[in-house]
């Protein structure tokens, strides 16, 4: 299989910070953006962690080089009474 460059865009509110990884590859997020070459035709696992205030949210958009949406998470939220949360989702390239 060939590798395809996949782009990740992150936007957050009421967050102190966040981190994300695909498989065992940490994303080098700068100004809310990162990219990573991934195997085409494979299913990949995106995992994220966020710290902040209850109700804080992280939005994630994953696109290919042609700007086709592969995955969109409008708002992963920190639950009431907590200051951090984690999430994960599988997506295909």
Residue pLDDT, tens place only, 15-67: 999 999 999 999 999 999 999 999 999 999 999 999 999 999 999 999 998 99
pTM here? 0.92
Q: What share of the chain is helix, strand, coil (3-state, %, to 5)?
A: 0, 75, 25
Residue 59's contacts (CB-CB under 8 Å, 6 or more residues apart) are: 10, 11, 12, 73, 74, 75, 76
Encode pLDDT of 74-89 as tens digits.
999 999 999 999 999 9
């Amino acid at each position: 299989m060939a590798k395809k460059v996949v782009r990740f865009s992150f936007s957050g509110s009421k967050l102190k910070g966040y981190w994300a990884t695909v498989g065992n590859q940490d994303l080098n997020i700068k100004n809310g953006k990162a990219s990573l070459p991934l195997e085409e035709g494979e299913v990949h696992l995106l995992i994220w962690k966020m710290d902040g205030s209850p109700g804080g949210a992280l939005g994630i958009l994953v696109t290919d080089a042609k700007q086709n949406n592969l995955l969109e998470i409008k708002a992963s939220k920190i639950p009431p009474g907590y200051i951090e949360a984690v999430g994960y989702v599988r997506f295909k390239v």
